[in-house]
Structure 1
Amino acid sequence: MRLDKFLAETGMGSRKEAKQLLKKKLVTVNDQVVKDGKIQIDEKKDIVKFAGEELTYQKYYYYMLHKPQGVISATEDKWDQTVVDLLRDEDYREDLFPVGRLDKDTEGLLLLTNDGQLAHQLLSPKKHVDKEYVATVQGIVTDQDILQFAAGFALTNKELVKSSELMIDAINEEEEQSEIRLIIQEGKFHQVKRMFEAVDKKVIYLKRLRMGNLWLDEELELGEYRALTEKEIEGLKMNR
């Protein structure tokens, strides 16, 4: 890896800014001052220091975000705040992106990473990775709905959805509302909302709790995020 890229990757600014640091003789490689950002280093073996402090290279980053409503699951948007905008300056990286998407009015677990291979594995329909949601539905969810969801069925546009697990947590007869949990293994556009529309009901609140074996940290407030633990990262990779 080029030294200037290494410096940029370890949070020392852009490559242009890294070059300025090199000119000021603030960077050493294996205790030797280096001014040329084009030199190749071994990021795993060489010891790079800035102003005497050793820099640690990290290739992949993984953040768990408790996405709030009103925020877009994208890296940039001309009109709305994006999930990447919620990152602090010290955690922001241009290569971070959300794994899949949650609708603008949907809350819950969203993974931000720069690990494209893991993202592909988590989103691939062939891998059958569970996505678990909790929702408030306008309408009374019935045992017949549970059976229909378990069998798989066609949406209103004739698009087929695969078998899913629908569970009823509570029924409010007076308000004609149902509190449910749903586990799906697909990620079609507005899928959960469209599934309930197909059975003449409407989702009025939706939150994702889990992706694979990664559960939303209950201590994270809406809009907050944290780095995944090594155990959580390994758990996600087991879904490959």
Structure 2
Amino acid sequence: MSERETTGQDAAADGVRLQKVLAQAGVASRRVSEQLIVEGRVRVNGEVVTELGSRIRPETDLVDVDGVAVQLDASKRYVMLNKPTGVVSSMRDDRGRDDLRRFTQDYPERLFNVGRLDADTSGLLILTNDGDLAHVLAHPSFGVTKVYIAKVDGIVTAQTIARLKRGVELEDGPIAADKARLLDASGPRTGGTSLVELTLHSGRNRIVRRMMAEVGHPVLELVRRQFGPLHLGTLPVGRSRELTKVERGALLTLARRDAADESAADAPPPASPQSGDPT
């Protein structure tokens, strides 16, 4: 059995009491944390732990309360940036363009971006030093949803919105929006503009711009408003902030769930019963 499969009850004697870990993580006071444990609301590595004497290894064990992941590793930092246009999604651009270094220089950790936004696209970008989480959030196979608002040329019709949801054919294959809706349209059909909200889980390059161009409405401005459970909110362009405890919990819960799904998918199928064995 691996360390991560070890429950709090089986952890080494030099582990840390579970209620102390929860209190240090900011979940609740130690007394309230004890109540959460007794009520069966705390899990360690997927197993409910109700014994107050339980000890865990915070550096390896995974803890959640009411199904929401708890961040135990205080060395990990999670930052939301509202990336301006004109900035490339790189920590060091070899062509000398404006990059992300100025947004990370005040943090003692070495942060890197999760995924990318085009230089001419603004909006929500996650910066972190958590490589495992970054892998899950950025890899296309996990299908984390993103919400974009595009200002496009021309007046978008209901028929066009329906077409975006049905799917369009691009040079690298078909693509359909998970959701699409018209937020606003103003001006004449020719020369006017529209605001369109698109929800996608695809990580293909410049996908929103290519989709809108395919339906005859080139993108004039584009912003990413949401990434998974995170919302940009009122964060000004060019500003960053650390994620709240609630946001970190939502993000870690998503990452752990998708990582577990990947592990289950990669697991070999159970062996078929041998001839003559009981079934």
Deviations 1:146-166 (A, max 9, x none): 2222122211x2422244311
Which sections of structure 1, spanning at least 5 residues, go unmatched?
Answer: 1-41, 45-56
* Pick aligned residue for 1:197 from 213, 234, 255: 213
Q: Which moved more, 1:79-88 or 1:198-207?
A: 79-88
Written as runs of structure 1 = structure 2, the 5 A alignment for 1:160-239 is 160-174=174-188, 175-218=191-234, 220-239=235-254
Structure-2 separation of matches of 1:74 and 1:93:
16
Written as runs of structure 1 = structure 2, the 5 A alignment for 1:14-93 is 58-78=74-94, 79-89=96-106, 91-93=107-109
SS in 1 for 2:204: coil
Which sections of structure 2, spanning at least 5 residues, go unmatched?
Answer: 1-56, 60-72, 259-279
| Deviation for aligned residue 1:217 | 3.4
Taking a change above 3 Å as real, the CA distance of residues 158 and 125 of structure 1, as seen in their structure-2 partners, is: closer
| Conserved 8 A contact 1:136-1:204 | yes
More helix by share: 2
* Pick aligned residue for 2:173 from 159, 166, 175: 159
CA RMSD of aligned residues (A): 2.1
Runs of 4+ in 1 over 4 A off after TM superposition: none
Aligned to 1:134: 149
| Conserved 8 A contact 2:181-2:196 | yes
Using the size of structure 1 for normalisation, the TM-score is 0.70
| Deviation for aligned residue 1:43 | 10
Is 1:120 the counterpart of 2:135? The answer is yes
| Conserved 8 A contact 2:177-2:198 | no
| Conserved 8 A contact 2:153-2:218 | yes
SS in 2 for 1:197: helix
Aligned to 2:37: none
